[in-house]
Copies of this chain bind each other. A is one copy, B any other.
Amino acid sequence: MKKSTSEINVRYGETDQMGVVYHVNYLVWFEIGRTDFIETLGLRYAAMEEDGFLSPVVDAKLNFHYPVRYGEKPIVETWLQSYDGIRTMYRYEIKNEAGKLCVSGTSTHTVVKKETFRPVSIRRSLPEWHAAYSKAMEA
């Protein structure tokens, strides 16, 4: 299974007064993981937008197991949970340096036309993406 690993540089402003990373920021880190995962497939999200498409989030789930702190060097592991030619679901695991699972979750995405926000078939509209995602699912 294709899996990407992204190193996160914890930003000071990502902490809150609990003294740990503010929970909302882990959803930003999921996106960092997703962007890197896409690059391991040989694709670039920025290029998709330049071609007139957007990939909005349909749903997201987060499970918070253990806090990440400023000064730590966490990673996000990202892989494909499902893909059907229309919807893509990614799975994420954020781990600290000791390898402890801190946050896990998923997000589901469609692809839409930039101008109209109308959903498109990835299979038909973005065949290069479809090929890469299909292959990643097989692996």
Contacts and interface: CB of A to CB of B under 8 A. Distances in A.
Contacts of A1: none
Interface residues of A, number: 38
A contact patch SS = mixed
A139 interface: no
A56 interface: yes
A118 interface: no
A32 interface: yes
Contact of A62 (B17, B31, B60): B60
A24 interface: yes
Contacts of A28: 11, 13, 24
Contacts of A59: 61-64
